[in-house]
């Protein structure tokens, strides 16, 4: 069983997508993973490696074919826990346009709490607080479809935050955004983790974003093949490349220089570190 | 000059309360055999601009010239331009619709009523050009392919028309690292070996630095900067105002320069930075004792 500090505990998880009349392919193939409360974990892996399938198990959008997923100790298999689990674990997806339902920012964020049947005053409080947290309070009366991609995605995050989740799961939230939008979303998520203590699970194809997490999980063919702090994981450049992944550009540069005989530390994460390493 | 844009202005929903000027007085030239990157924030006018390159949008003001002729001059020319300027949209795989990869790729040349042999040859060649094995994929459903493969099928559907100018709007968006790398290498190959003129719209400064020889920077519907990647990325302040950033490897070179190394800070790719650092740091280490 998981310890008291576990937000999410995954034990021997197997999952197979059912296909009519066919033997389905195993999308998850024996996953064991513990996510501590307040942790910031990034998940990387090529398309089809099982990242999104795993993420959907965290709030019982999918339930295990075999094994167990526990959220705050509650099994996702038990229907009686479903509402409680979905309230504790909020999901944000790739395309912000698919996640917006209302005609103003404020109403959009209120959608979830309204469905909880909360009193109007509490709804107003939660909406105001959530918009403040994603730095969108000034735009609360704007029409969501006129916002930039980064702003829309922050509204989507506010909509989830208004449910007061303990854990936020983001599945490639910046894939469709421009550089400024990506930075806005990343900063928002970092702040929610650091200042509000919300547990974050962040799926991404951008290694520059993954390196900001405290812990990094690498998936391949439905398994976890590597797990550790970004510094440790990105030091395994050759393994990552063989899995169809890469390391952040500066780490790549550092590893190439090391390969050419320069005395560079193998676990460089950013430009400043590389400069220091080269000058020492 | 293959393509030229003169004083191009584009206004959406003109005469309504929702009127938006997406492009203002834009001038640019695309030389035959060049590879041009277009960067700018979402909403800066990039997509509107490239949709003018093959006459998908009519200018509100100004002209678009293809090989010196105004593409809106006559209908037959416009039709010809649409064949010669291949435009790959964002998330093009969303537009795949046939049951077989073959039919999807062949769609653009069906109207030409080519003899079956010739049509087949062209489809085969187009799939080869994006490194897909004709035999292995032609009868498969496009929907059974991976994200990167689907995107390459969509690209083959443009290449089958044998365009002279290939315009790609965010060709790597949403792909995983391997898919991204493969698409970029294919584009470079098409340019180098196939002699295609290429215009690439991208949010990734790394991709642009790696691929493009000329750069255009858009902000609020205007071109605010143009030049080689070296010239453009040297204007860090201006880029930041436009919501863009310089590739991070450049900070390593600038940091080393500040630390007293005499090196070229006008380099923006991992490969380039590697060579330059080896030249300087390696050289220093070999100095006589």
For residues A38 and A197, give the distance between their C-alpha atoms in angstroms, rounded to a whole number: 5
The H or E element spanning position B224 is: strand B222-227
- Flag if A148 and B255 touch (Cβ within 8 Å): no
For residue B226, the number of C-alpha atoms closer than 13 Å in the C-beta half-sphere is: 11
Instruction: Tell me, yes or no, whether B184 lies in a domain.
Output: yes
Taking residue A22's Cβ as centre, other Cβ atoms within 10 Å add up to 8
Count, residues in chain B: 289
Instruction: Tell me, yes or no, whether B199 lies in a domain.
Output: yes
- Flag if B176 and A94 touch (Cβ within 8 Å): no
The domain that contains B56 carries what CATH number? Answer: 3.40.50.300
Band of residue A22 on the pLDDT scale cut at 50, 70, 90: low
**pLDDT tens digits for range A113-147:** 998 889 999 999 999 999 999 999 999 999 998 88
Q: Please say if the pLDDT value at position A25 is more than 80.
A: no
Taking residue B248's Cβ as centre, other Cβ atoms within 10 Å add up to 19
Chain A within 8 Å of B282 (Cβ-Cβ)?
yes
Residues 6+ apart with CB under 8 A from B212: B35, B36, B37, B200, B229
State the residue for tokens 């460089």.
Answer: A268
Average pLDDT over residues A35-62: 95
Listed residue (A2, A202, A179) closest to A92, CA to CA: A202
Which of B26-59 are b and which e, b meaning 16 or more Cβ less than 10 Å from the residue's Cβ?
A: bebebeeebbbbbbbbbbbbbbbbbbbbbbebeb
Count structural domains, chain B: 1
Angle at Cα A35 formed by Cα A50 and Cα A65, nearest 5°? 40
Q: What residue numbers bound the domain in which B169 lies?
A: 3-246
Q: How far is B6 from chain A (nearest CA, A)?
A: 27
**Residue B251, helix vs strand vs coil:** helix
For residues B244 and B232, give the distance between their C-alpha atoms in angstroms, rounded to a whole number: 11
pLDDT of residue A14: 97
Closest chain B residue to A254, measured at CA: B274
Strands B214-219 and B35-39: parallel
Instruction: Tell me, yes or no, whether B287 lies in a domain.
Output: no
- Flag if A246 and B175 touch (Cβ within 8 Å): no
**pLDDT tens digits for range A4-15:** 679 999 999 999
Instruction: Tell me, yes or no, whether B13 lies in a domain.
Output: yes
For residues A217 and A227, give the distance between their C-alpha atoms in angstroms, rounded to a whole number: 5
Strands A215-220 and A223-228: antiparallel
Residues 6+ apart with CB under 8 A from B28: B4, B5, B216, B223, B226
By Cβ distance, the residue of B203, B245, B270 closest to A253 is B270
For residues B133 and B126, give the distance between their C-alpha atoms in angstroms, rounded to a whole number: 10
**Residue A201, helix vs strand vs coil:** strand
Determine the residue among A274, A276, A277 to mutate to test chain B binding: the one whose Cβ has the most chain B Cβ atoms within 10 Å: A274
Listed residue (B145, B191, B146) closest to B168, CA to CA: B191
**pLDDT tens digits for range B53-72:** 999 999 999 999 999 999 99
Closest chain B residue to A251, measured at CA: B249
Asked whether B232 and B212 are in contact (CB, 8 A), the reply is no
- Flag if B282 and A149 touch (Cβ within 8 Å): no
Angle at Cα B53 formed by Cα B51 and Cα B57, nearest 5°? 45
The rounded radius of gyration (Å) of the Cα atoms in chain A is: 20
* Residue A268: C-alpha distances to residues A133, A272, B81, B88, B267 (Å): 32, 9, 49, 37, 20
For residues B185 and B183, give the distance between their C-alpha atoms in angstroms, rounded to a whole number: 5
By Cβ distance, the residue of B146, B278, B281 closest to A47 is B146
Q: What is the dihedral angle through the alpha carbons of A68, A69, A72, A73, rounded to the nearest 10 degrees?
A: 0
Q: Mean pLDDT of successive 10-residue segments in chain B (289 residues)?
A: 97 88 96 96 92 95 97 92 93 87 94 93 95 94 87 94 95 89 93 93 92 96 96 94 92 95 94 95 53
For residues B105 and B96, give the distance between their C-alpha atoms in angstroms, rounded to a whole number: 9
Burial of A5 (0-12, 13-18, 19+ CB in 10 A): exposed
- Flag if A249 and B206 touch (Cβ within 8 Å): yes
**pLDDT tens digits for range A172-181:** 999 888 888 8
Locate B220 and state its tokens. 């609020």
Burial of A66 (0-12, 13-18, 19+ CB in 10 A): exposed
Q: Please say if the pLDDT value at position A224 is more than 90.
A: yes
**pLDDT tens digits for range A152-185:** 999 999 999 999 999 999 999 998 888 888 999 9
Instruction: Tell me, yes or no, whether B252 lies in a domain.
Output: no
* Residue A18: C-alpha distances to residues A21, A24, A62, A275 (Å): 9, 5, 12, 51
Instruction: Tell me, yes or no, whether B226 lies in a domain.
Output: yes
By Cβ distance, the residue of B174, B245, B248 closest to A271 is B248
Instruction: Tell me, yes or no, whether B153 lies in a domain.
Output: yes
Chain B residues whose CB is inside 8 A of the A48 CB are 146
pLDDT of residue A20: 60
3-state helix, strand, coil in chain A (%, to 5): 40, 20, 35
Helices A249-259 + B249-258 axis angle, to 10: 60
pLDDT of residue A140: 93
pLDDT of residue B287: 45
For residues A222 and B192, give the distance between their C-alpha atoms in angstroms, rounded to a whole number: 38
Listed residue (A1, A9, A55) closest to A35, CA to CA: A9
Asked whether B172 and B202 are in contact (CB, 8 A), the reply is yes
Residues 6+ apart with CB under 8 A from B9: B21, B23, B24, B25, B26, B59, B60, B61, B62
For residues B77 and B83, give the distance between their C-alpha atoms in angstroms, rounded to a whole number: 10
- Flag if A262 and B278 touch (Cβ within 8 Å): yes
Instruction: Tell me, yes or no, whether B283 lies in a domain.
Output: no
């Amino acid at each position: 069983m998981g310890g008291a500090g576990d937000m999410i505990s995954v034990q021997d998880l197997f999952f197979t997508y059912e296909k009519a009349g066919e033997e389905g392919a195993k999308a998850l193939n024996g996953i064991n993973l513990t996510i501590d409360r307040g942790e910031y974990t990034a998940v990387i892996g090529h398309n089809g490696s099982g990242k999104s399938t795993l993420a959907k198990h965290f709030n019982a959008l999918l339930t295990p074919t075999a094994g167990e997923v526990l959220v705050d100790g509650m099994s996702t298999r038990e229907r009686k826990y479903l509402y409680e689990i979905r309230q504790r674990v909020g999901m944000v997806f790739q395309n912000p346009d698919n996640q917006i339902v209302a005609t103003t920012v404020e109403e959009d964020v209120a959608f979830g709490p309204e469905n909880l049947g909360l009193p109007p005053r509490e709804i107003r409080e939660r909406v105001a607080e959530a918009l403040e947290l994603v730095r969108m309070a000034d735009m609360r009366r704007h029409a969501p479809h006129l916002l930039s991609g980064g702003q829309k995605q922050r509204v989507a995050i506010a909509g989830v935050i208004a449910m007061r989740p303990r854990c936020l799961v983001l599945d490639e939230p910046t894939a469709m955004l421009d550089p400024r939008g990506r930075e806005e979303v990343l900063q928002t998520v970092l702040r929610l983790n650091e200042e509000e203590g919300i547990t974050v699970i962040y799926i991404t194809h951008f290694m520059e974003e993954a390196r900001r997490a405290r812990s990094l999980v690498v998936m391949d063919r439905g398994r976890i093949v590597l797990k550790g702090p970004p510094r440790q994981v990105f030091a395994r450049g050759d393994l990552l490349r063989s899995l169809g992944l890469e390391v952040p550009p500066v780490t790549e540069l550092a590893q190439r220089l090391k390969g050419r005989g320069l005395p560079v530390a193998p676990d460089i994460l950013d430009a400043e570190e590389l400069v220091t390493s080269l000058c020492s | 000059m293959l393509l030229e844009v003169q004083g191009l202005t584009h206004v959406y929903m003109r005469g309504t309360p929702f009127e938006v000027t997406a492009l203002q007085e834009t001038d640019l030239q695309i030389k035959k055999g060049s590879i041009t990157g277009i960067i700018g924030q979402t909403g800066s006018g990039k997509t509107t601009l490239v949709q003018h390159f093959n006459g998908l949008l009519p200018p509100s003001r100004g002209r678009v010239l293809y090989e010196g002729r105004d593409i809106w001059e006559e209908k037959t020319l416009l039709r010809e331009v649409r064949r010669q300027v291949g435009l790959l949209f964002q998330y093009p795989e969303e537009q795949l619709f046939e049951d077989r990869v073959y039919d999807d790729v062949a769609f653009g040349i069906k109207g030409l009523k080519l003899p079956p042999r010739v049509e087949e040859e062209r489809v085969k060649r187009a799939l080869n050009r994006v490194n897909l094995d004709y035999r292995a994929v032609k009868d498969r459903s496009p929907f059974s392919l991976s994200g990167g493969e689907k995107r390459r099928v969509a690209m083959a559907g443009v290449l089958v028309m044998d365009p002279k100018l290939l315009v790609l709007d965010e060709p790597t968006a949403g792909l995983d690292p391997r898919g991204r790398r493969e698409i970029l290498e294919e584009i470079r190959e098409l340019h180098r070996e196939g002699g295609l003129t290429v215009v690439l719209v991208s949010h990734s400064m790394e991709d642009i630095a790696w691929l493009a020889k000329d750069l255009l920077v858009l902000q609020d519907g205007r071109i605010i900067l143009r030049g080689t990647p070296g010239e453009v990325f040297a204007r860090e302040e201006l880029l930041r105002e436009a919501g863009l950033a310089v590739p991070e490897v450049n900070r390593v070179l600038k940091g080393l320069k500040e630390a007293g190394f005499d090196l070229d800070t006008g380099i923006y790719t991992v490969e380039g930075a590697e060579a330059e650092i080896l030249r300087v740091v390696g050289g220093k280490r070999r100095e006589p004792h």
